[in-house]
């Protein structure tokens, strides 16, 4: 797939994006969910080797194809690794899956109800290396914990600044200002976030597009103006802590938004499964998320 093929698939393909990008801090939790306890490794390198084995098993599974999985977001170490002897991005492309790379380096402490991204001083180098490996786009995450207008404006401003840096390298940014689903002011956060995103989209140069990764809104249809915005290639949703069944129900209420799930995709997979069990469990998860992404409810259609 060339860049134009990947862009076309992301714009109009039926399916969802798999998030396989748990980084250093969240890796032990991801491994525990997979049935591997912390005592199974003694060094960071061994820990990352174990999580790469899990991801390689997913990517090489016959259930994981571009028919339903449009794209996959990778952690940097996963991008640099191999799957069955092929570089991970090329292994994805061979299966018809568009590769993305997580570029943020974690979150700052909370200020004004939000957590901005930490500085990324070597981002240009990472973008050049990622593009050379065949990676289509990036993903960068901030967190919104409360409905503070100044904080939300700062999050979106930073996200778009990074997004423009990604665009300058000829890559597609996924902008992810996550609203914490435990926030007591989620609905107001959604409204403030929508206004700030539209403001920043309108300031993009003519012909530029970004992707958006958002928490599922409290009120279905809230993000409809983003789904139809000419400067948005695709809107995807994170599971944000919801279990898969609930995440898929909420997803199906929102027209035009597809999934980009991590925990909700992996929650039933275990290292102890044999290949038949593993592939069947993964196929079931993929089918459920695919349905939530492509078969919308009547409630969504009525919004």
Q: Which two tokens stand for residue 167?
A: 């665009």
Residues 6+ apart with CB under 8 A from 126: 76, 101, 103, 120
Across-strand partners of 86? 83
Q: Is the Cβ–Cβ distance between 234 and 228 less than 8 Å?
A: no
- Using CA atoms, how far residue 150 sits from 108, 112, 146, 155, 202, in Å, is 16, 7, 11, 9, 19
Name the DSSP class of 202. Answer: H
CA pseudo-torsion sign 100, 65, 26, 189: positive
* R_g of the chain, CA atoms, integer Å: 18
Q: Which two tokens stand for residue 206?
A: 């003519």
141: nearest Cα among 156, 124, 151: 156
SS (H, E, C) 44-107: HHHHHHHHHHHHHHHHHCCCCCCCCEEEEEECHHHHHCEECCEEHHHHHHHCCCEEEEECCCCE
Distance from the Cα of residue 148 to its chain's centroid: 24
Q: Indicate the helix (H) or strand (E) that contains 175.
A: strand 172-179
Q: Is the Cβ–Cβ distance between 12 and 293 less than 8 Å?
A: no
176 is catalytic: yes
Which of 9, 102, 213, 253 is catalytic? The answer is 213
Which of 140, 176, 196, 288 is catalytic? The answer is 176
Active site residues: 176, 213
């Amino acid at each position: 797939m060339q860049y134009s093929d990947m862009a076309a698939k992301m714009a109009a393909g039926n399916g969802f994006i798999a998030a396989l990008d748990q980084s250093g801090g969240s890796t032990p939790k991801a491994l525990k969910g997979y049935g591997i306890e912390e005592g199974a490794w003694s060094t960071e390198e061994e820990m990352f080797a174990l999580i790469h084995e899990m991801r390689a098993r997913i990517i090489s599974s016959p259930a994981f194809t571009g028919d339903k999985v449009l794209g996959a977001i990778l952690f940097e170490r996963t991008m640099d690794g191999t799957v069955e002897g092929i570089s991970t991005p090329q292994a994805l492309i061979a299966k018809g899956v568009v590769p993305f790379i997580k570029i943020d380096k974690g979150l700052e402490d909370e200020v004004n109800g939000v957590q901005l991204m930490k500085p990324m001083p070597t981002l240009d180098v990472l973008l050049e290396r990622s593009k050379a490996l065949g990676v289509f786009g990036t993903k960068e995450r901030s967190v919104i914990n409360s409905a503070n207008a100044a904080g939300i404006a700062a999050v979106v401003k930073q996200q778009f600044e990074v997004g423009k840096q990604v665009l300058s390298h000829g890559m597609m940014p996924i902008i992810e200002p996550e609203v914490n689903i435990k926030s007591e002011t989620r609905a107001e956060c959604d409204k403030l976030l929508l206004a700030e995103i539209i403001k920043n989209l309108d300031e993009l140069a003519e012909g530029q597009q970004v992707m958006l990764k958002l928490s599922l809104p409290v009120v279905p249809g809230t993000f409809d103006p983003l789904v139809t915005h000419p400067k948005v290639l695709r809107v995807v949703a994170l599971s944000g802590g919801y279990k898969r069944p609930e995440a898929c129900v909420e997803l199906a209420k929102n027209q035009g938004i597809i999934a980009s799930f991590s925990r909700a995709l992996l929650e039933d997979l275990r290292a102890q499964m044999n290949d038949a069990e593993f592939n069947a469990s993964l196929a079931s998860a993929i089918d459920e998320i695919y349905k939530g992404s492509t078969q919308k409810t009547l409630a969504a259609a009525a919004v």
